[in-house]
Structure 1
Amino acid sequence: MSKEDYRDKIEEHRQSFEEEQQEQQNLSRVSRMNKNGSNNKKPKNTKRKSPLMTILFVTFILIPLTILIYFVQFYDPGKTIEEAEKDTLDSVVEIDKTGSKAEASTSSDKDKDAKANDQAKEQAQKDAEKLAEQQKAAEEAKKAEEAKLAQQQAEAAKKAEEAKKAEQARKAEQEKQNAAKAKTHTVKANENLYRIALNYYGDGSEATLAKIRAANGMPNDTVFVGQVIKLP
């Protein structure tokens, strides 16, 4: 059993003892009033409780119980009675201090909880602001990347167009150069103008023959072996 349980039991016995004493005093007071009152009034038969039960209770229950509690909780063979009483008082004071400390600790815990809640709210607000800034920065970076990619694509398309135009110009120049270079053919045996036109142009029409004649200043289609003919 704890110290509090022993104290509660002692307090209950003490209150019971005080109630019995108060009851005896009340009975004595009523008896005196009846004795000093009118003779016409019949005295009330008051049943007085014998103090024997109280004496027995104190002698055989309360005193041994108090001694037992003392030996269990407070008795130390090396200590005097004054030291034991002092330790008892110290224990009571310590209990009171413990209760005060518990109340102070509870109040301190509430303050800490409130402070922690405020800090948590403040931290949550900071985190939200930081997240918003990060999202904004990410969107700006994405827009910048898209703009850069569009610019690169435009430059690539421009370069491709320029390269295409340069290739077309080169081919035109090559064709022009090839056209400027006059091909020649030396007439061999058994060849005529028609066969020559058919070999080089794949076409022996009159228009092709007329082109060859004009390039060489020929009045007709007659050619001879060893003659060098220009092929436009």
Structure 2
Amino acid sequence: MGKQNYRESVEKDRQEIAVERSAAPSRRAQRNAVKEKPKKTKNMLLPALFFIFILIPVTILFYVAFLFEPDDTLPTDETANEVSVESGSASPDVAVIPGEEEEQDETAADEQAEKEAAAKAQAEKEAAAKAQAEKEAAAKAQAEKEATAKAQAEKEAAAKAQAEKEAAARAQAEKEAAARAQTEKEAAAKAQAEKEAAQKQTPPASGKTHTVQAGETLYRIAVNTYGAAGASAGVEKIKQANGLPSNEISVGQTLVLP
């Protein structure tokens, strides 16, 4: 029994040695492969070192210089706060990236600037329209004032011309009346002179005359001469005998009493 076990143990050891011998070439191949790997690793080492010692610090420096913003430098104006609050209320689980927040702030600022520009343009437009309306109203008022003044001046000129025309007509009428009166007076004086001259040359048949006294009229002389009953007929006789055109007589005038 002990021999049998011994043989089995020896056989088992021999088989293990055989297996190890058969597996030895593969282990050599693995060693060769491991020996070849350091060559590739050597080739990749320089770019890796370059990336680690140059690119990574440069990248960190670029981020710190241009992209990184501490909390105390974030905008604190009301518009930025409102935009941040609205974004947070719309999506509370999504973190706001500094670049996106800055872009939102710029968009809000642009919109605010556009609103202010539009409001300014509208205000300027309304101010220009108001100024134009005031200018037109002032021009209209000035035109109406000038038209009223012109109409008043024309009215006054027309009234003045009418007054001058009426005054000229009145003066002309007075002049003509005075000339006519003067002509009539001269004619009457001439007729009276001629009559007196004729009376002096031809004495009346009756030889009765009367010198007109102050306050006497032709009718009173006729009453005194012919009586009240024949006064009217006596007036006509006296006028006819003396060539009188009317009942008017003058003081001192000599009348023939037929």
TM tier relative to shorter chain: 0.3 to 0.5
**Could you tell me the TM-score, scaled by structure 1's length?**
0.41
Q: TM-score, normalised by structure 2?
A: 0.38
- Give the number of the structure with larger relative contact order, counting CA–CA contacts within 8 Å between residues 6 or more apart: 1
Larger Cα-atom Rg: 2
